[in-house]
């Protein structure tokens, strides 16, 4: 497929387009990272008997992200990309208000669930809008640059959350989330043309949706790439859920935690820029295998160090390992998503839904399991990165072979038609 933009009607320049897509995508990161510094305060205010239960306010958000995509993907294919974002923003706003006024953990979890459902519209629609305009390595390149800009939010969100926590209390953090969601929605409404042409819109009926699902599942390589993304995302989600307890319990870092978290996020942004520069030259599959190999090598070395040398490494040893492991994440997420979406441009909304929901659901289950094993050591997180990375490498290898087989079969079919 062509690597050139496909939607001629888009009036935004590439810089503003990337910035807008990043701002919409960043709503999820803001909803996660801004609240991390408030974990201990929320635990006290909501009177949680088991401090580990605070992780559910992250898990609930991801559950909402997974469920909501089943709604907003088909909605965006039927009514257009922009209306789906507007509807999601309303749901997100209701969730933010509930979370801001929560007096119990169940109320907080419900609010966070709604926030996740609402934010899923942004996540799904951004993927569909980019796929409406780009394909293949060019799509991966745009996704990398979107991630590089978007990373500003997780870099600053913990600092912002800490500042709001000190100035106005943890409830005000959710008010800021509501404001940021409104800004992104207004920007989209005023500046971004609709990318789904009326003649390409699909009706929402069980028969049509089921036909779309079958179309996605026909591409076996897409299924393996999607599963691999889920395992990669599972390692990342495990880190997000355990980051604050790890820094507090093992390294006695509390107030300055946002600074360390932001430093790691900067590494993420640098990796996104590197991927955007190299992916067209090296290729999607090679970049994925290279990133997985580096991440696995770092995880094996660090895991052996924990088991054989020192179960409690210094802070800078831990930060060094995280920097290497997380440097590989954006090279995997964006590229694997582009590889999964490559043959599915004609049903981008539904495809983004199935791929996004599946990866989020896989990651959610894995991160909850890892979180239950947290014992105030680095072992559970390190094992997660090693095991999930190993499985992902196997899945990518199988997916690559299946993709080559599908491309060969397609070429043979085209040749047969041409000669008929």
pLDDT exceeds 50 at position 1: no
Find, among 162, 189, 169, 146, the residue nearest to 28 by Cα.
Answer: 146
Count CB neighbours of 178 within 10 A.
18
pLDDT exceeds 80 at position 61: yes
Count CB neighbours of 245 within 10 A.
18
**Type and span of the H or E element at 73:** helix 56-79
Distance of alpha carbon 134 from alpha carbon 146, whole angstroms = 13
pTM, rounded to two decimals? 0.72
Evaluate whether 229 touches 359 at the Cβ level (below 8 Å). yes
| pLDDT of res. 416 | 56
Backbone torsion region of residue 10, taken as left when φ is above 0, otherwise alpha when ψ lies between -120 and 50, otherwise beta: beta
Distance of alpha carbon 174 from alpha carbon 158, whole angstroms = 13
Q: Is the dihedral of CA 379, 381, 382, 388 positive or negative?
A: positive
Evaluate whether 358 touches 220 at the Cβ level (below 8 Å). no
- The owner of tokens 């933009």 is 5
Query: Using one digit for the tens of pLDDT, what is the confidence trace for 99-128?
Result: 999 999 999 999 999 999 999 999 888 888
Half-sphere exposure (Cβ direction) of 73: Cα atoms closer than 13 Å: 26
Query: Using one digit for the tens of pLDDT, what is the confidence trace for 271-315?
Result: 877 887 787 788 888 888 999 999 999 999 999 999 999 999 999
Distance of alpha carbon 26 from alpha carbon 344, whole angstroms = 24
DSSP state at residue 205: -
Two tokens at 90?
A: 């309303």
Find, among 199, 37, 47, 29, the residue nearest to 126 by Cα.
Answer: 29
Count CB neighbours of 199 within 10 A.
5
pLDDT band at 146 (very low <50, low <70, confident <90, very high): confident
Evaluate whether 111 touches 96 at the Cβ level (below 8 Å). yes
Count CB neighbours of 269 within 10 A.
18
CATH number for 14-193+204-419 (one of 3.40.50.620, 1.20.140.10, 1.20.1250.20, 2.60.40.1730): it is 1.20.1250.20
What is the overall mean pLDDT for the chain? 85
Query: Using one digit for the tens of pLDDT, what is the confidence trace for 225-262?
Result: 999 999 998 998 888 888 888 998 999 998 888 888 87
Distance (Å) of CA 187 to CA 123, 180, 193, 215, 414 = 16, 11, 11, 34, 43
Find, among 319, 347, 312, 323, the residue nearest to 132 by Cα.
Answer: 347
**Intra-chain end-to-end CA distance of the chain, in Å:** 24
Find, among 37, 61, 201, 194, the residue nearest to 117 by Cα.
Answer: 61
- The owner of tokens 């929901």 is 357
- Give counts: helices (H), strands (E), the chain: 16, 0
Domain limits of the chain? 14-193+204-419
| pLDDT of res. 395 | 94
Count CB neighbours of 366 within 10 A.
21
Query: Using one digit for the tens of pLDDT, what is the confidence trace for 375-396?
Result: 889 999 999 999 999 999 999 9
Distance of alpha carbon 53 from alpha carbon 202, whole angstroms = 42
Find, among 96, 103, 107, the residue nearest to 34 by Cα.
Answer: 96
Distance (Å) of CA 305 to CA 112, 271, 309, 384 = 38, 25, 5, 15
């Amino acid at each position: 497929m062509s690597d050139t933009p496909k939607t001629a009607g888009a009036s935004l320049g590439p810089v503003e387009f990337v910035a807008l897509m990043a701002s919409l995508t960043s709503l999820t990161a803001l909803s996660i990272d801004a609240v991390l510094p408030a974990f201990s305060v929320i635990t006290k205010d909501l009177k949680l008997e088991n401090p580990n239960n605070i992780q559910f306010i992250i898990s609930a958000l991801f559950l909402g992200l997974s469920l909501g995509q089943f709604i907003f993907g088909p909605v965006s294919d039927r009514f257009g990309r922009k209306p789906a974002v507007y509807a999601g923003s309303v749901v997100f706003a209701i969730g933010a208000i509930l979370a801001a006024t929560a007096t119990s953990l169940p109320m907080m979890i419900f609010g966070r669930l709604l926030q996740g459902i609402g934010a899923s519209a942004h996540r799904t629609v951004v993927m569909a809008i980019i796929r409406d305009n780009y394909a293949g390595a060019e799509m991966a390149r745009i996704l990398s640059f979107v991630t590089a800009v978007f990373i500003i939010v997780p870099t600053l969100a913990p600092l912002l959350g800490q500042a709001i926590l000190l100035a106005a209390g943890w409830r005000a953090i959710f008010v800021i989330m509501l404001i940021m969601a409104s800004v992104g929605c207004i920007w989209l409404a005023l500046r971004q043309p609709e990318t789904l042409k009326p003649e390409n819109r699909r009706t929402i009926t069980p028969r049509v949706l089921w036909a779309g699902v079958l179309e996605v599942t026909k591409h076996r390589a897409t299924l393996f790439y999607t599963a691999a993304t889920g395992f990669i995302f599972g390692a990342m989600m495990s880190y997000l859920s355990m980051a604050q307890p790890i820094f507090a319990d093992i390294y006695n870092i509390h107030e300055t935690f946002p600074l360390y978290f932001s430093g790691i996020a900067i590494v993420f942004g640098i990796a996104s820029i590197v991927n955007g520069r190299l992916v067209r030259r090296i290729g999607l599959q090679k970049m994925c295998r290279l990133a997985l190999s580096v991440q696995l090598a770092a995880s094996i070395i660090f895991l052996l160090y924990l088991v054989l040398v020192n179960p409690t490494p210094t802070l800078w040893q831990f930060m060094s390992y995280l920097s290497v492991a997380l440097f590989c994440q954006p090279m995997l997420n964006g590229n694997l998503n582009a590889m999964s979406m490559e043959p599915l441009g004609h049903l981008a909304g539904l495809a983004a839904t199935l791929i996004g929901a599946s990866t989020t659901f896989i990651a959610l289950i894995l991160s909850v399991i890892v979180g239950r094993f947290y014992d105030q050591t680095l072992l559970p997180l390190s094992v997660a990165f090693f095991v999930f990375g190993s499985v992902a490498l196997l899945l990518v290898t199988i997916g690559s072979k299946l993709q080559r087989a599908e491309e060969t079969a397609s070429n043979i079919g085209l040749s047969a038609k041409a000669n008929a």
